[in-house]
Copies of this chain bind each other. A is one copy, B any other.
């Protein structure tokens, strides 16, 4: 495993939230909160990262996450280059590492990497020059650390604390990088009652999600929860006997207003998007008064600004 922290404790890479100390998470959330602006106000703009260059290296399409990182970098004054790797160099057989070395020589200071396979961001992090940082923007089913941070920031804003909260993560836990990063964040930040709620086919192996209560029925999983975090279910999951189709999934597992009523009356609902409305979540919930889904998106830019600022401007080893 590549070390994510520098000797002085500052963040150099962000590949996973697993193993990051609580103080580091709290510091990043605190800084991100300062970048949050209400909808309709001008977002903060600074020149903190003027002269720095950030490369988005995405091997699977993700408009939302790419644009979120792009705007975070630009609003701090950095220059951004976008590369969809499968469309360009990769067709020429160039290895990812040679691409990265090339960009490093072009004075790219931070790589934002998203890949459907495991290990790519870590591989890059293990090989870049000491002054270069690597941020994961989603790695296989394993982790999506800035998503975990924005989820934590959303809970912090709405609930003001982590201790004493009951948080239910619901849906396709097994294949979800969002669930894994949320679990790392919430566990580290001291959430006591953390539940994973899924049909057996979507439940992760027993060795994973240590410390989480497991529910294979929706109702008991939601009961008195303060936070209900829904996950996106991929259409590809349907077709087996356990998961016949989206309609039946919704009938058994969709979050409707009635089911949400099982949770704490002040519970908030989260979803990483994009949503399958009418499959894992009803529109009445997604757009309803308990939804914090748009806050999550807004918090995403703030969190990415905080992370970029930290990796690029805290003690640099040049």
Q: Is A213 an interface residue, CB under 8 A from the partner?
A: no
Q: A45-B50, A53-B71 given as contacts; is B64 within 8 A of A89 (CB)? A: yes
Q: Is A27 an interface residue, CB under 8 A from the partner?
A: no
Q: A93-B276, A274-B92 given as contacts; is B71 within 8 A of A102 (CB)? A: no
Once the chains bind, are B88 and A37 in contact (CB under 8 Å)? no
Q: A50-B45, A235-B93 given as contacts; is B105 within 8 A of A39 (CB)? A: yes
Classify chain A: how many residues form its interface, as a range: 35 or more
With a CB–CB cut-off of 8 A, which chain B residues contact A45?
A: 50-51
Copies of this chain, count: 3
Contact of A298 among B70, B92, B106, B131 (CB under 8 A): B106
Q: A42-B51, A102-B273, A297-B106 given as contacts; is B70 within 8 A of A81 (CB)? A: yes
Q: A45-B50, A53-B71 given as contacts; is B107 within 8 A of A37 (CB)? A: yes
Once the chains bind, are A71 and B106 in contact (CB under 8 Å)? yes
Once the chains bind, are A71 and B63 in contact (CB under 8 Å)? no
With a CB–CB cut-off of 8 A, which chain B residues contact A131?
A: 39-40
Interface string of A19-60 (1 = CB under 8 A from B): 000000000000000000101111101000011110100000
With a CB–CB cut-off of 8 A, which chain B residues contact A300?
A: 106
* Whole-angstrom CA separation of A41 from B103 in the bound complex: 14
With a CB–CB cut-off of 8 A, which chain B residues contact A102?
A: 64, 273, 294, 297
Enumerate 16 A-B pairs (CB-CB under 8 Å) in ascending A order.
A37-B107, A39-B107, A40-B131, A53-B71, A61-B92, A63-B85, A63-B89, A63-B99, A64-B99, A70-B81, A71-B106, A94-B273, A98-B273, A105-B295, A107-B298, A107-B301
